[in-house]
Each structure stands twice: as C-alpha cells, then as structure tokens.
C-alpha cells in the first residue's frame, strides 16, 4: 500500500503521517537504509539522520524544509514530509493545515507569485494513520474539518484490525472506519469526502485506487479517505513481546498467508514480471544491502562517539600515573563495550572529583575537556528549542510607538483593528482564522469589517474545533504562510494544548532546525467574570509550551507591538490579550503597523524604593491601584510589567530593581505555585536576587479553585487591590513595626 501511495506522491506534496511509514519514505527517495539505522542508533549528526539528528525515536520521519539560514527551500521541487510525533492521531490537525494551504494558494490570487512554496495549490497533503488511532477524537475533528473546508487531503488508514493487542471490535463501531464514515461520502448534490477501500495485499488494485484518489484530490480539491484493509502485522508492536500473545492460531495462519511481501511475490510471478530465481536473488541481495547499511550506520555512529573518548584517554593516562583511582577509571572506560558519550563524561567527572582541591596542568586539561563536551552535548541534545536564525523573534529590532498631538484616543479593540488592518494590507501571506473571526470580526471586534475588505480567505470563520484551528495554522505555517489562529478564550486553550505541546513547541527542536511553523496563537484571558471566561492557567502553559514564546501584554497597544514583532520573526508565539481591556481607552500610535515591542524586556511602570512588585497582564492595573494606596501610608513600590513570560527578563532588569529595594513580590492570577513560582525561580535563583533580599519573597496569587462567577466571585477568587495592600503592608511591618503597626 505504501509503495502504491508513493507512486502518486509528486514534488511539492506533503506527508503528515504516523511513524510506521518507512516503506513509503524509501519509495519516494527521502530516506536511505543507512539513515534509517542511524536514527535507530540516535546518531546526532544531521548528515547521518536528517529527520531529527538523533533526537527522535526510530521510525519518525521528516524532510529538511528550511536551509541553514532558516529560509524555506524550494518546496515545490521536493517531496516533503512534516516531522512525525508519537501521540496517536497527533498528525491529523497538522494534516488539515497542510491541505488547507493548498486551498489558499489556489484560491488567493495574491499568493500566485510564491512559486517556491506552491504551484497554484496543486499539492496534496497525504495523511496516514493506523486503524486503532482513528478512535482518537482529534481524528474525527480533522475529518469533519477537511470535509467542511474541501481541501486536498488524502487520508490513508492502515487497517490490520488491531491497536497493539486490542482488536477492532473494541476500537471502532462496526469494526470498520470507512463504514461508519459513509455519511461523509459526497453525492452529486452535496460536498463531502470520496471514500475508497482496497485490500492491503492487492498491489494492482491499490495502484489503480490511488490513481483515482490522486486525480480527485489534486484536480478537484476533494478530500479522500482511503481505507486499506486486510493488512498484517508481521511482528509484535515492539520488542517487548510477540503478537502471538493476543492473536489466535487461525489469525496468525491467515496473516502468514496474506503477508504483503508474499502476495507481492505471487503477483510478480503471475504477471511474469520476473521469475522465481530472479526474485530469490533480489531477496538475497536485499538482506545483504540492509545488513551493509546497518553496519555502515553503526560504524559511523561509533566513530562519531569515539572522538570525544579519544581526546579524553591521553588526559586520563597522564593523571593515572600519579592517581590509582583514576587509573582504574581509565581501565574501566577502556574496557567498556560500545561506550556512549555518557560513559566518557561519567569517567571524566569522577576523575574531577578525585582531583578536587588540587591544581595541575593535567587537571586543568581535564576540566577543559568536561566544559567543551558539555557545550558540544548541549548543541547535540538541547539546541534549537527556538529559532536560531536571523529571523528569530529575539533579533527583531525594537521600534518605539510614536505619538503626536493628533493621535486618536480609541477603544483597545480599535488599536488591534488598526494593527491587523495594516498587517493584512502589508503581507498577502497573513491570514486570520478562528471562531467568529470572520463575519462579525471576532467576539471583541478587532477584525470588524476586515473580512469585507480582504475576503473570506484572509479573515475566516471556523467551527468550534480548537485543535484543528491550530492545525490549520501549523500546516499553513509549515508551508510558508503566516497564520494568526485564534482560540476564543484562554480557558479553551486546553482543547489545543496537546497539539501545541507535542507538535508546535518542539518542532524546531525535534528536527534540529530542519522545519519551522511560525504561527501566532491569539487568545484572550485573565480576569473577567465566569468560571470558564476568566482563567489564567499560566503555569500549565509555561510548563507545557516551551518552544513557543508566551507574551502577556497589559493593554492592546503592547499587544499590537507584539503582533508586529512576531510577524517579522520565524518563531511561534502565544499572545494573551486582556479580556477586560477591549473597551479601555488607549492612544493609537502613529506607526501602528510598524512599531515593535521586544521580547523578554520588562517595563518599569512606576519607580519605587521599598518593594519591587513583578506582575503582568490585567494584574498591572490591579497592582497599580494597590500601589497608589500604599504610597499614602509611606510605602514606595517599584512596579515592573514583565511583558513576556517566555522569554523572561533577558537582561536581568528585575535584579537591578531588587538591588535597590531589597524586597520582591510576585503577583498574578494563576493558582499558587503557578507562574509566580516560575518568576520567583527565574529572579531569586537564576538571576541571583536572593543575595540582595532583606525580606522573604512573597507571591500573591488567585485561589486554588476556578474563579467564581459574578463581581464578588471575581473579587474573592482573584487578587484584589486590598489584598495586595495588606500583604505588602505586612511585609513592611516586619521591617519597621513601629512605622507600620498591624492592621488586624
């Protein structure tokens, strides 16, 4: 089936599959046998494992779609595979987006000049999934989205009737995914899917069926569900055990008889394409070629590892002459069978411990080896979490907002409206997508009227399906477009956190800079009223989305500056607007479409001398209200808006404030131990502010429960000015009890 599919996969097409498609990758020429084994051994050189540089488990495939400068290659001249992830059905949202990009390239005439990215939207997005994984909710969400959108998505389901050990009768209604999706079949009067089935062992029928599927999908932009049945699993799911544990003798016998390789051989003989002797020779040669590739990959892997050990060995040898313990360490390392990098590092660090307190040239040489290899291994295993190109968000130059006497005073939503209007006018690759974004211009009107101005393809309504809204953004961004995908409320980000965490956040990392998806996720959150309309789950976001910048503007002007910054960059970002700020008045910058707010640079909202208060978002106004009251009793607070949580205070300006005040308070609307704990770790531990504190650090947070409904619910669930006043007053009372006697 994978070979048949490969025959209709053209230059410019994209794959978004599960991690069992090695036959397909071999067939399209984007994977060699040696690369396959290099990934198995976790070889960390990009040249050895182009998909992941040893960062992904075996069987996870990807092509390198950007060059060393971070620029997109000519994707129309290559066969492209987005990077695989292990979570079942995790490839589905991205698949919708890859297909959706073809729709945009075909139907938006302003994109016709981007011929390195698409040729008139003729590209198909090929998806693959196992039958059991179709039980995941995101599979059905993606199928529905593709049917609504009418995009060129060719979805193959590999069906061996099992999900590891669990048979189809426990996985799928009627035990058959194409049967239960018959309602999606298009008719002469209604759009939908083309549904095709074929048996996995019938190569000739598969080739004909895939030719039909390709024609419908590529020419008409009709999504296709291609259900491949009667497949076999020749071994167990993994090396942990054989499939004989859970399959009957009858099933095992059937699988032996219907093995695809066996059936292929029979078909070749029947068609007289080759004779038995020729096929025997091919099989023998195939085994020899595979073994040679395995051996070559193993040799290259070990040669790469041995470089570090070869540099360490003479250092240990010199030290061993005067230290018996180090002699034993060296002998143990030399005797190790197939040593890894960790073995050399462990040996070196054990030797360093033995030499503690001693000074010698040999010890210095050993320490230098450790430091160099720590740096080298950081590059091997930890680089590229974010973009390292010149287009990195951290390289975007700050451009201050410019105001004049004629600058208008507008609602916050109107500030954003002007920003988005300029962005859409400036770059045809930019489009906005989300629930209620199109016709009414989003629930807070920041896109009001822009669909009429730029068309439905640029400002687009979507169904209530957060995971595939994000997926549309991922796939489009992978193909060089610039999506702004909206999650209507921050509380609903949970629907998409899995795909953001598993796919977007780690994309540059898991491909070591081979792919990028610079989408912007726009949402709104923090205090308002209502359990699911006033959430601020920042700790969850910070800990699950490393690899995505998290921007928390206090007002819509700052938000606009962040949108301008991120649209110049090739990093993904989550921008969280303040729910209660859309109707607050702000001045419209004269350069609304150009000014850029830098990332990781806090802003001091008020200078002070007694206490540093660190906060962000909607809490800035709450803190400022409290600080005004504290001033009346003689307490001077320095208020700092961090502006971005990822990255956080890149130049340690908060430390400079603590050096002056010697006290610090972290305040936000997250639960205790959430983002305030993150900020405390950054400032107290990482920046070293603990050395300058005269009082213990203080965190002011929301309660542990969800915020209650109503104004009273908000007041007693979230930090309020009176609570902030009381806690900072109490802090100062411990220092000067006579000046600040107890309030209660």
Of the pLDDT bands very low, low, confident and very high (cuts 50, 70, 90), residue 138 is: very high
Tell me the mean pLDDT in the region 565-571. Answer: 98
Task: Write the CATH number for 202.
Answer: 3.40.50.970
Q: Token pair for residue 154?
A: 């060719």
What's the pLDDT score for residue 562?
99
* CA dist 503 → 12, 551, 660 (Å): 21, 19, 43
Q: Is the confidence at residue 235, as pLDDT, over 90?
A: no
Q: Cα 607 to chain center, whole Å?
A: 38
- 244 by DSSP, 3-state: which? helix
Among residues 31, 108, 213, the alpha carbon closest in space to that of 460 is found at 108
Both 338 and 468 in one domain: the answer is: no
Residues 6+ apart with CB under 8 A from 423: 430, 563, 564, 567, 593
Q: Give me the domain span that covers residue 26.
A: 2-231
Structure tokens at 549: 């910048």
Measured distance CA(202)–CA(264) in Å, rounded: 8
CA distances from 519 to 89, 503, 522, 585 (A): 21, 12, 10, 29
**597, part of any domain:** no
The answer to whether residues 687 and 553 touch, using CB atoms and an 8 Å cutoff, is no
198 and 59 both lie in a single domain: yes
Say if 222 falls within a structural domain: yes
543 is catalytic: no
Q: What is the pLDDT of residue 233?
A: 82
Compute the Cα dihedral for 131, 3, 63, 224 and give only its sign.
negative
Q: Do 403 and 338 have their domain in common? A: no
Residue 270, in any domain of the structure: no
Task: Indicate the pTM of the whole model.
Answer: 0.96
| pLDDT value of residue 569 | 98
Q: What is the CATH number of the domain that holds 719?
A: 3.40.50.920
- 35, 362, 466, 638: the active-site residue: 466
12 in a structural domain:
yes
* Residue 198 near residue 224 (C-beta atoms within 8 A): no
Residues 143 and 133: their CA atoms lie apart, in Å, by 13
Active site includes 685?
no
For helices 341-354 and 361-381, angle between their N-to-C axes, nearest 10 degrees: 150
- Same domain, residue pair 47 and 76: yes
Q: How far apart, in whole angstroms, are the C-alpha atoms of residue 258 and residue 263?
A: 6
Is residue 237 pLDDT above 80, yes or no?
no
Q: What proportion of the chain, given as a percentage, has pLDDT over 70?
A: 100
pLDDT of residue 221: 98
Residue 74 lies in a domain: yes
Same domain for 401 and 547, yes or no, is: yes
In a domain, 641, yes or no: yes
**Domain identity same for 60 and 176:** yes
Considering the domain architecture, whether residues 194 and 334 belong to the same structural domain is answered as no
Query: What is the distance between the alpha carbons of residues 106 and 433, in angstroms, rounded to a whole number?
Result: 18
- Domain finish residue from 314, 348, 381: 381
Same domain assignment for residues 397 and 497: yes
Whole-number Å distance between alpha carbons of 699 and 615 = 10
Query: Which entry of 533, 577, 586, 669 is annotated as an active-site residue?
Result: 533
272 found inside a domain: no
Look at the chain and report how many structural domains it folds into. Answer: 4
pLDDT of 206 strictly over 80: yes
Q: Are residues 362 and 403 in the same domain?
A: no
Which residue from 643, 639, 701 is spatially nearest to 674, judged by alpha carbons?
701
pLDDT of 234 higher than 90: no
> Is 489 in the same domain as 552?
yes
CA 213 to chain centre: 31
In the predicted model, what is the mean pLDDT of the chain?
96
Residue 7: which of 301, 236, 204, 300 has the closest Cα?
204
Q: What is the pLDDT of residues 673-696, one digit of tens each?
A: 999 999 999 999 999 999 999 999
Please give the Cα distance from 595 to 401 (Å, whole number): 5
Q: What is the pLDDT of residues 154-167, one digit of tens each?
A: 999 999 999 989 99
Answer yes or no: are the C-beta atoms of 33 and 27 closer than 8 Å: no
- The domain boundary, picked from 203, 231, 259, lies at 231
Do 347 and 316 touch, CB atoms closer than 8 A?
Answer: yes
- The DSSP H or E segment spanning 604 is strand 603-606
350 and 416 inside one domain = no
Together in a domain, 615 and 691 = yes
Is there a domain that residue 742 lies in? Answer: no
């Amino acid at each position: 089936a994978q070979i048949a599919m490969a025959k209709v996969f053209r230059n410019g097409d994209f794959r978004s599959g599960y991690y069992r498609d090695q036959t397909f990758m071999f067939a399209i020429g984007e994977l060699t046998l040696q690369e396959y084994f290099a990934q198995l051994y976790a070889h960390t050189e990009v040249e050895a494992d182009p998909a992941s540089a040893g960062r992904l488990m075996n069987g996870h495939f990807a092509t390198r779609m950007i060059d060393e400068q971070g620029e997109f290659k000519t994707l129309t001249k290559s066969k492209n595979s987005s990077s695989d992830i292990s979570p079942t059905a995790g490839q589905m949202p991205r698949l919708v987006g890859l297909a959706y990009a073809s729709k945009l390239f075909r139907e938006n005439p302003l994109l016709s000049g981007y011929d390195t990215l698409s040729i008139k939207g003729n590209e198909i997005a090929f998806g693959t999934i196992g039958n059991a994984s179709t039980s995941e909710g995101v599979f059905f969400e993606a199928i529905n989205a593709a049917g609504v959108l009418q995009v060129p998505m060719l979805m193959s389901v590999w069906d061996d009737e099992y999900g590891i050990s669990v048979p189809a009768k426990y996985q799928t209604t009627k035990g058959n995914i194409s049967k239960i999706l018959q309602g999606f079949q298009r008719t002469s009067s209604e759009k939908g899917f083309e549904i095709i089935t074929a048996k996995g062992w019938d190569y000739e029928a598969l080739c004909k069926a895939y030719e039909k599927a390709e024609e419908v999908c590529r020419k008409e932009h009709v999504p296709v569900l291609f259900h491949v049945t009667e497949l076999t699993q020749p071994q167990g799911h993994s090396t942990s055990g054989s499939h004989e544990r859970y399959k009957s003798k009858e099933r095992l016998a059937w699988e032996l008889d219907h093995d695809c390789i066996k059936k292929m051989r029979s078909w070749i003989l029947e068609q007289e394409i080759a004779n038995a002797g020729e096929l025997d020779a091919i099989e023998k040669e195939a085994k020899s070629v595979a073994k040679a590739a395995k051996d070559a990959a193993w040799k290259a892997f070990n040669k790469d590892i041995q470089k570090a050990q070869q540099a360490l060995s003479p250092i240990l040898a010199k030290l061993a002459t005067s230290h018996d313990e180090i002699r034993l360490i060296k002998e143990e390392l030399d005797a190790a069978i197939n040593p890894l990098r960790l073995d050399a590092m462990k040996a070196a660090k054990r030797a360093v411990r033995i030499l503690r307190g001693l000074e010698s040239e040999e010890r210095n040489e050993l320490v230098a080896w450790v430091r160099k290899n720590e740096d080298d291994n950081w590059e091997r295993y930890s680089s590229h979490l974010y973009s390292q190109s010149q287009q990195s968000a951290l390289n975007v130059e700050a451009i201050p907002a410019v105001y004049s006497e004629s600058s208008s005073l507008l609602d916050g939503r109107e500030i954003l409206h002007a920003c988005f209007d300029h962005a859409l006018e400036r770059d045809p690759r930019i489009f906005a997508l989300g629930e209620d974004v199109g016709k009414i211009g989003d629930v807070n009107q920041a896109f009001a009227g822009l669909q009429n101005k730029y068309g439905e393809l640029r400002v687009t309504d979507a169904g209530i399906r957060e995971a595939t809204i994000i997926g549309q953004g991922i796939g489009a961004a992978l193909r060089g477009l610039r999506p702004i995908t909206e999650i209507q409320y921050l509380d609903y980000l949970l629907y998409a956190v899995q795909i953001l965490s598993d796919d977007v956040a780690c994309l540059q990392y898991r491909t070591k800079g081979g792919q990028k998806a610079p989408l912007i996720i726009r949402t709104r959150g923090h205090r308002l009223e209502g359990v699911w309309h006033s959430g601020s789950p920042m700790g969850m976001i910070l800990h699950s989305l490393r690899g995505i910048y998290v921007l928390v503007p206090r007002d819509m002007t700052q938000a606009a500056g962040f949108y301008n910054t991120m649209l110049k960059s090739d990093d993904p970002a989550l921008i969280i607007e303040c729910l209660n700020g859309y109707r607050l008045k702000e001045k419209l910058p004269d350069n609304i479409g150009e000014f850029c707010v830098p990332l990781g640079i806090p802003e001091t909202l008020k200078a002070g001398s007694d206490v540093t208060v660190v906060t962000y978002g909607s809490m800035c106004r709450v803190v400022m209200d409290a600080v005004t009251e504290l001033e009346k009793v003689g307490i001077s607070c320095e208020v700092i808006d961090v502006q971005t949580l990822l990255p956080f205070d890149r130049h340690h300006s908060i430390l400079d404030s603590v050096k002056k005040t010697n006290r610090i308070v972290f305040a936000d609307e997250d639960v205790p131990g959430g983002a305030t704990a993150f900020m405390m770790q950054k400032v107290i531990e990482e920046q070293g502010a603990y050395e300058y504190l005269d009082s213990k650090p203080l965190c002011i947070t929301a309660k542990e429960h969800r915020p209650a409904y109503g104004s009273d619910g908000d007041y007693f669930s979230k930090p309020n000015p009176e609570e902030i006043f009381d806690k900072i007053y109490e802090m100062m009372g411990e220092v000067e009890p006579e000046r600040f006697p107890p309030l209660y």
